[in-house]
Structure 1
Amino acid sequence: MFISVVIPTYNRKPILEKCLKALEKQQLNDDIISNYEIVLVDDGSTDGTLEWLQENKKNFPHVCAFSQDHLGPAAARNLGVTKAKGDIIIFIDSDLVVTETFLQCHANALVKGEKKLGSDRLFTYGAVINTCNFDHPTSEPYKITDFSAAYFATGNVAIARKWLEKAGLFDTGFQLYGWEDLELGVRLKELGLTLIKCPEAMGYHWHPPFNLSQIPNLIDKEIQRGRMGVLFYEKHPNFEVRLMIQMTLLHRILWGVLSLGGMLNERTLAPLLQWLINQGKPQLALEIARIFLNWYNVKGVYAAYQEKK
């Protein structure tokens, strides 16, 4: 098989360098993988990503770089797929650092899964481990908060390109934050594709340690995710999607109660969050912040739904 790793990126040059270096160090079994390429799509970065890549292209022989205006990850991934040469597409994000056996683990799981199912209607989903360790991201252990029940998420997934083309690629109407990959997943599920978990294909998702200055951006993302959730529901108006986007009475009650009707918010919780950060526990602070972040998301999805009616 020939593998194309499709990566959209936007202003992530420091961690992108680690991402690409890790992909250049892959240990491959030639009996399964004939070759691979890294299809990088720059989504209108302003941090000099393309210039840096051009200056260092000799260090990244597998990279084929393309660019577009800032149209969002859905359009960037679609461009990547159309430019890719491989029969297998692996999607990762540009802030993901993988192990040296990453590609081989996905390939092995695809071959094994096809033999087990007697069908090629499948895709593999690797492990995504969140880390704040920029210097040594792959040293982070797996945590319970790293668990994902998503059916199709582009942080670490391998799939035959023919199924992407048959499903219709990503809907570029999802121009704000969230849901474009899970919406494609609904269409792939309708085609009868089976999810094969592949925890051996490990990717370490780096993000800077949580601090209070990030909160406005995180709130904005939750509001955007609410708006895109309504678009998701318009395309697939069923209860399963309502659960996914948190547009149910249960979610309104749950996050309303946990946030005390919004009384526990970015202002009232700020002293506690800062104290935890000072104690060296930024991840715990972020998990507590999710109380009001989820409340913003629930309010956002209902507000967007009312606008549509």
Structure 2
Amino acid sequence: MQISVVIPTYNRKPILAQCLAALEGQIIVPQEPIAGYEVIVVDDGSTDGTVDWLHHNPDFPHVRLLQQQHQGPAAARNLGVAAAQGDTIIFIDSDLVVLPDFLQCHGSALVQAQRDQGDDRCFTYGAVINTCNFENPTAEPYKITDFSAAFFATGNVAIGRSWLEKAGLFDTQFQLYGWEDLELGVRLKQLGLRLVKCPQAVGYHWHPPFSLAQIPRLIDQEQQRGRMGVLFYQKHPTWAVRMMIQMTPLHQMLWGLLSLGGWLNERRMAPLLQWLIDRGKSQLALEIARIFLNWYNVKGVYQAYGELRQGMVK
């Protein structure tokens, strides 16, 4: 097994340095089952000096750098897969820091799963633990909020390259935030691929501690996610997708009630959120902020869907 780790990145140089250092520190047992690995970093038009830094950094011998204009992670991952030399692709994000046995765990679990089921129609999905600890991200314990029910998410997944190609890779229409990986997951499931959990392959997803200054960007992300959710539904008009993208009366009612129809918004909740942040409870503040963030998402979904239907009528 030859592994190609594909990492899209955009203006994340400080945490990317930790991500790549962790990948250089991988402990590989020769031929069991990994013959070798490469790390493909696809820069998506960064403006923070990432490209120049990588060009002049000798600390990452496994890294190959590719570049594209700012086209989003779907196009970046496709470019990485096209250039990959490995038969197995591992996708992680550029703000993920992994443990030294990360690649070995994915490789061993993938081979064992293939033996157990008698074919290679499977992929492994590792654990993702969210952390705000930049200095020592791998010290963060697992939390209930780290649980994910996603079938295929590119934060930490290993899959045979041939299956990605058979599924048609990522749809580059997904240029805004969200859903490009789960949409590919639907196509992989249609091909009969099975998800194999690999909790030993742990990745620590770093993000800065929540602050009120982040709220405009988070709202924008939720609105983008709403629009991309409708694109997802256009491609796969099923009830399961409607549930995923929160385009149901249930979600309208739930987040409408919790946000009091949008009355509990970022302005009215700011004093409480800042009070929690000042007491070192930024993660709790973020979870509470999801009340109005999800309301923005649901509104974004229905607005985009309404625009789509109007366009179809015309």
- The residue that corresponds to 2:207 in the other structure is 207
Q: How does 1:12-51 map to 2 (within 5 A)?
A: 12-31=12-31, 32-51=33-52
Distance, in Å, in 2 between the alignment partners of 1:179 and 1:66 is 23
> Deviation of residue 21 (structure 1)?
0.2
Please name the residue that 2:117 is paired with: 117
- What residue in structure 2 maps to residue 91 of structure 1? 91
One-letter code aligned to 2:47? T
Identity %: 74
Structure 2 residue 3 is the aligned partner of structure 1 residue 3? yes
Unaligned runs of 5+ in 1: none
Q: Determine if the alignment matches structure 1 residue 152 to structure 2 residue 162.
A: no
> What SS does the corresponding residue of 1:59 show, helix, strand or coil?
coil
CA–CA separation in structure 1 for the residues paired with 2:50 and 2:166 = 32
Equivalent residue of 2:214, what SS? helix
1:72 and 1:40 mapped to 2: Cα distance? 14
> 1:118 Cα deviation (Å)?
1.2
1:167 matched residue in structure 2: 167
Secondary structure at the aligned position of 2:162 is classed as helix
Partner of 1:52: 53
**1:138-149 correspondence runs (5 A):** 138-149=138-149
Query: 1:29 deviation in Å?
Result: 1.4
Which whole-Å CA distance do the structure 1 matches of 2:36 and 2:118 have between them?
Answer: 25
- Paired with 2:226 and 2:35, the residues of 1 have a C-alpha distance of 42
2: CA distance, partners of 1:266 / 1:118: 52
Partner Cα separation in structure 2 for residue 264 and residue 117 of structure 1: 50
SS in 2 for 1:3: strand
Question: Partners in 2 of 1:194 and 1:226 — Cα distance?
Answer: 28
Matched, 1:137 2:137: yes
CA offset digits 1:42-96 (Å, max 9, x no partner): 000000001001111x210000000000000000000000000000000000000
Amino acid at match of 1:207: H
Q: How many Å separate the matches in 1 of 2:75 and 2:34?
A: 28
Distance (whole Å) between structure 2 residues aligned to residue 136 and residue 154 of structure 1: 23
Q: CA deviation at 1:119?
A: 1.4
- Distance in 1 separating the partners of 2:120 and 2:172: 27
Structure 1 letter corresponding to 2:152: F
TM-score w.r.t. length of structure 2: 0.98
Q: Which amino acid aligns with 1:38?
A: V
- 1:226 correspondence with 2:233: no
Question: Which amino acid is 2:5 matched to?
Answer: V
Aligned residue type for 2:285: A
Q: What is the match of residue 308 of structure 1?
A: 308
- Equivalent positions of 1:284-295 (< 5 A) are 284-295=284-295
The answer for the alignment partner of 1:266 in structure 2 is 266
Q: CA deviation at 1:197?
A: 0.2
Deviations 1:160-187 (A, max 9, x none): 0000000000000000000000000000
Q: CA RMSD in A?
A: 0.4
| TM-score, scaled to structure 1 | 0.99
Q: Which blocks of at least 5 consecutive residues in structure 2 are unaligned?
A: 310-314
Inter-partner Cα distance in structure 1 for 2:235 and 2:300 = 18
Give, in whole Å, the separation in 1 of the partners of 2:125 and 2:24: 21
For residues 121-148 of structure 1, the C-alpha deviation after alignment (integer angstroms, 9 at most, x for no partner) is 0000000000000000000000000000
Task: Supply the distance in 2 between the matched residues of 1:243 and 1:30 (Cα, whole angstroms).
Answer: 44
Question: What are the within-5 Å matches in structure 2 for residues 99-114 of structure 1?
Answer: 99-114=99-114
Q: Deviations over 1:22-58 (max 9, x none)?
A: 00000011121110000000000000001001111x2
Measured after TM superposition, the shift of residue 116 of structure 1 is: 1.2
2:75 and 2:21 map into 1 onto residues whose CA distance is 25
Q: CA deviation digits over 1:194-251, x for unaligned, max 9?
A: 0000000000000000000000000000000000000000000010000000000000
User: Following superposition of structure 1 onto structure 2, how do residues 223-262 of structure 1 map, counting pairs within 5 Å?
Assistant: 223-262=223-262
1:297 corresponding residue in structure 2: 297
User: Shift in Å at residue 115 of structure 1?
Assistant: 1.2
Aligned residues: 308
